[in-house]
Chain A
Amino acid sequence: EAGVAQSPRYKIIEKRQSVAFWCNPISGHATLYWYQQILGQGPKLLIQFQNNGVVDDSQLPKDRFSAERLKGVDSTLKIQPAKLEDSAVYLCASSVLGQGGGYGYTFGSGTRLTVV
């Protein structure tokens, strides 16, 4: 079974620029998550999709972050404009609907964003 694919692996941008991350979940996984992990902290949920609908985006800074999951498969996360404090690893994860937790939850390898 292929895992959760993310790209790019690394990105360095200047503040005020825009950036986009891509995620392809495991086939058949209805639920997709984007997490932000700042150095020295645990991952924090930014947005949760179920199919192509948003379940939870309460911690997404909507003035600069946006995310979409067209057709309920791939997802993109965008930051515009970026700030220094957005430097972090952005993790995508997916799970089978209603089967979250360890048995259904799979993380991608993440994108490390550095804003200079």
Chain B
Amino acid sequence: EDKVVQSPLSLVVHEGDTVTLNCSYEVTNFRSLLWYKQEKKAPTFLFMLTSSGIEKKSGRLSSILDKKELFSILNITATQTGDSAVYLCAVEGNTDKLIFGTGTRLQVFP
């Protein structure tokens, strides 16, 4: 059965800290891994990763994929209170549907 596991489930940090969110997966016919940020209801797209070892970067956020070990990490440097959200990892197989992990709830305090 396809599955996606995220850790930690919850994280509390202070502004300025750096955090690393983890995502491991088992999926048939892997096509891509995606990271989303969910603040209220609709997940918003952050990154899509398809190749191992190539870092994707957007401002203070970056992510990398290891297809051999079947995991990805999402790094956020110099965290801000606006980074507080649930971060979802999802994996896409060959059927266009996404399989999500349970998410990591990040809380950033001033």
Q: Name the CB-closest residue of A to B99.
A: A45
The answer to whether A48 has its CB under 8 Å from any CB of chain B is yes
Choose among A95, A100, A102, A112 the residue that contacts B41 (Cβ–Cβ < 8 A): A112
Of A33, A91, A107, A108, most buried by chain B (CB within 10 Å of CB) is A107
Indicate if the CB atoms of A45 and B42 lie closer than 8 Å: no
Indicate if the CB atoms of B100 and A44 lie closer than 8 Å: yes
Indicate if the CB atoms of A102 and B42 lie closer than 8 Å: no
List the interface of chain A (C-beta within 8 A of B).
31, 33, 40-45, 48, 55-56, 89, 91, 95, 98, 100-103, 105, 107-110, 112
What is the interface of chain B mostly: helix, strand, loop, or mixed? strand
The answer for the CA separation of A100 and B40 in the assembled complex, in Å, is 23
A42-B88, A103-B48, A110-B41 known; A95+B100 contact, CB < 8 A: no
A42-B101, A101-B31 known; A31+B42 contact, CB < 8 A: no
The answer for the CA separation of A91 and B43 in the assembled complex, in Å, is 9
List the interface of chain B (C-beta within 8 A of A).
4, 6, 31-32, 34, 40-45, 47-48, 88, 90, 92, 95-103
Interface contacts beyond A41-B103, A42-B101: sample of 20 additional A-B pairs, CB < 8 Å, sorted by A: A42-B102, A42-B103, A45-B97, A48-B96, A48-B97, A55-B95, A56-B97, A89-B41, A100-B31, A100-B96, A101-B32, A101-B96, A101-B98, A102-B32, A102-B34, A102-B48, A103-B48, A107-B43, A110-B42, A112-B41
